[in-house]
Amino acid sequence: MVSRIAPPWVFEIDDLRKSYDGEKWANDGITLRIEPGEVFGLLGPNGAGKTTLVKQVVGLLAPTSGTIELGGYDLVADPDHARQLCSYLPQAPVPIESFKVHEAIELAGRIRGGEKSTVRARTEELIDDLELEEWRDTLGAKLSGGVRRLVGFAMTIVHPAPLVILDEPTNDVDPRRRRLLWERIRRLGDEEVAVILVTHNVLEAEKSVDRLAIIDDGRTVAEGTPSSLKAADRDLLRLQVMLTPGVDDPALPAWLRAEARVGNTLVTTVSEPDVPAGLDWAQGLMTEGVAEEYALGATSLEDVYVRLTTVEAVAS
């Protein structure tokens, strides 16, 4: 990066706190900064507080404390303006039972303030890009969950506001169209729109977001580019062992770090020099009948994610 030009505007959340009941914090001091053109991922386990966070941005919830600003405008004080500055795809299905697909997208664009002809052209473009031609004239009530999700996505970005907020857009979408969706999200970045993307799909997010934050229990536990978050894992490899059901857990050598236990799969990390020893150890478990299978691979953002969000769950 040579010299940085100051961005035309920024979106900033500062020390945001939200409690529904006055006791438990659903958001517990979250601070974020996003620039136009950035695709920002928001990751975290169920109940972490991601939806709570974005609902405050679009003015559906009032923060308990903290500030939310876009280009210097106070979104908390002026929720009407906030709704104009944010295009929002909620986590819940969009209510388009009695709309034809193209009607829903077009009308959403008009409601967002788009010109008739621009909106119409962009609707056809999105239907084409997301491979929805087959359903162009189908009523929402007759769509499958994934297609309805894609239509909701198209409705959100047909005339995008400066900040586009997508709460789990890839849910229920098949792998092929998920790829089209990610491409389209990347293009929003090229259009100088800022994107907040809530997702559980860590592997796909790793390839498509510019930066991300991992939220757990209302707090930001990590923030940065995918590669900066993986930096600590640079010389680590992942050794995954599928344990035989019903067998006692094996003792771990000191140089092997347990990361998570998912069902019968034990995920560990091992540094490069210890790899041969690690493979011997895993092979030994197979011979003893303690393990059924093992695999060695590069670490991914998912390992970082799992480590950061399941610390207490792993007894090592």
Partner 1 sequence: MTAATIPARRSGVDHWLDAFGNLTRWQVTRLRRLLPITMVVQVLSTTGIVIGMGLLYGDLPPERVLYLTTGAVTISLITVGIVMGPQILSQERISGSAEYMAALPVPRSAATMGWMVLNLVTVLPGIVSALLAATLRYDVELAVSWPIVPAVVLVVFGATMVGVAYAYAIPNPRTVNAVAQLLIFVVFGFSPIAYPAEQLPDWLASAHRWLPFESMAVVIRDGLTDGLATEVGRAYAVLAIWTAAAVALASWSLGRRP
Contact 195, 161 (CB under 8 A): no
When the beta carbons of 112 and 211 are compared against partner 1, the nearer one is 112
Residue closest to 16 by CA, chosen among 71, 73, 75:
75
When the beta carbons of 122 and 307 are compared against partner 1, the nearer one is 122
Q: How many residues of this chain bind Mg ion (CB under 5 A)? A: 2
The span of 84-92, 197-205, 252-260, 281-289 binding partner 1 (CB under 8 A) equals 84-92
- Options 30, 151, 161, 185; binder of partner 1; rule CB under 8 A: 161
Does the footprint of partner 1 cover residue 33 (CB under 8 A)? Answer: no
Phi and psi angles of residue 65, each rounded to the nearest 5 degrees, phi first: -160, 170
Could you give the string, one character per residue 27-66, with x where binding to Mg ion holds by CB under 5 A and - elsewhere? ------------------------x---------------
d(CA 171, CA 292): 32
Q: Which helix (H) or strand (E) holds 270?
A: strand 265-271
CA atoms within 13 A on the CB side of 250: 28
Contact 202, 301 (CB under 8 A): yes
Q: What is the CA radius of gyration of the chain?
A: 22
Least distance in angstroms from the C-beta of 21 to ligand ATP: 6
Does the footprint of partner 1 cover residue 160 (CB under 8 A)? Answer: yes
Interface with partner 1 (CB under 8 A): 8-9, 20, 36-37, 58-62, 70-71, 73, 79-81, 83-85, 88, 90, 92-95, 97-99, 103, 107, 110-113, 160-162, 191-193
